[in-house]
Structure 1
Amino acid sequence: MKATKHQYVYRHPKSPNYWYMRDIPIDVRLQMPPGDSGRPPSKWKESLGTAILRDAARIAQNKASEHNAVIALARADKHPSKLHAHLSEADRLKIEQAGGVENYLRWLNDRARTALELADEVQSWRDFADEELSPSESPDPDWLAGRTAALDAERREIERQLDREVCLIKEIGETPGKLHAAGLVHIADAASVNRAKSDNITLGQLVQIWKVETRSEAPEQYEYPVKLFEELNGTIAVAEITTEHVRSFRDALKKMPPASGGRFNDMVLIATEN
């Protein structure tokens, strides 16, 4: 749609009437019910019911006032969205894309259950192979090794994913007890064993743990370089970081303008060939 000189007033290419359109802030979206897509809406958008620009501007102004009140309520101290104001933009977006906190936690619970099912399947195959069976009944050793290796690899990938999410679970105030009470027993069990293991923990997780433990007033100065590092190298465990990763990151930083501030917030750092 094409913008007009009036705020939130647009021309619709398929309608004679003007339309109202306004982005919904991410922290406000988290408190809105999901739409037909299963996710909260990202914009307020509706016809203003008139083809006269002056009237459309007046109606849009009234709607903007209504939505300003919705935003103010969502950000009030006693409103649930205030609980998520401390989250990073990326974490709030992750929760929003999942359809809200409840859907996000249910998705993690399903992932944790899948990991348990995969582990059970692997154990079942191994127990079956240990039984005294005739050659015709016994599984082929090579097939069995490949099958169990594939199942184990899928399980470990899910567990690494859960490792990365455990800090966010704690950041939104969820505990194993609260998760159990909500019927999310699988993710509750996963969170209770402190999945931030030394062999899987990432730089981003380390910073989040540090934030919780130190209550730093300016964590952004540490989060930003970690964000750049993970954009360049991917979200990898600290134990997997090599000198080549560090060297590539150092070389990429040299190509960035000094004191760039927030001018590049919507860009992604990528490696390029010399």
Structure 2
Amino acid sequence: MFKLGFIGLGNMGKAMLFGALKNKYVKNTEVIFRKNKNPEEIVEKYKVTSAKDNIEVAEKSKVIVLAVKPNIYAEIIGEIKDSVSENTIIMNITPSFSIKEIQNLFGKNIKVARAMPNTPAMVNAGITGLCFSDNMTDSDKEDIINFTNSFGETVIIKEELMGGLSAISGSGPAYIYMLIEAMADAGVKEGISRKDSYKLAAKTVEGAAKMVLETSRHPGELKDNVCSPGGTTIAGVIELENNGFRSSIIKGIGKTVDRFKEMNEEK
């Protein structure tokens, strides 16, 4: 029996696998995967076992990560549903299916961990939202949390809040990349090299985030500490507010939540 199995192994799946191996959640001998294209690259890089088909992954894994596109979830589950045991844990990492919908596709009360990781998992800095089906034991939950902590940190939430979490942390990196790109463009406009502008912007975002996390001070207070009376920063802050900076972010996240709900209704 393998501790961890992957069906599909794209960028997110590989990030999760890398973290699990690097931080010793699993040994490479405890991982099996099924990937249709270029599985030999995964075997060579990570020294894990390539399965002959999805059924082999289902039969031999304690935890199965469904790391495929949501449009083929039903197809994959239809293929493996008779090959999983009552103690198998299915990890669903798509926003499109609830725990109950996954159980209905399996046609039985399968154990399900619904997770929303994000792409910074690729650099061991992910944040994963996690909720569980009612039939999972405390030991099951601890095991899954240890897995998601291997590529970042974990927040346990109620399933009905998964849309908001998905919009903030799942989609959020895209918003931050836009911010970094815009800041860098401004730097280039002022004559700073593109390379230096990206570094200045990215490290500023990193440092500001660490200030929030490590000081536990309100972001508004930290912002106020940068804004000297009559100074340069407050002039920029007022201009951003005049152009709807914060309201645009709130509206963008709201629109992301709306699309999350639409995707759940489109199946």
TM-score by length of structure 2 reads: 0.28
Bigger radius of gyration, 1 or 2? Answer: 1
Give 1 or 2: higher strand fraction: 2
Give the structure-1-normalised TM-score.
Answer: 0.28
Q: Larger RCO: Structure 1 or Structure 2 (Cα < 8 Å, ≥ 6 residues apart)? A: 2
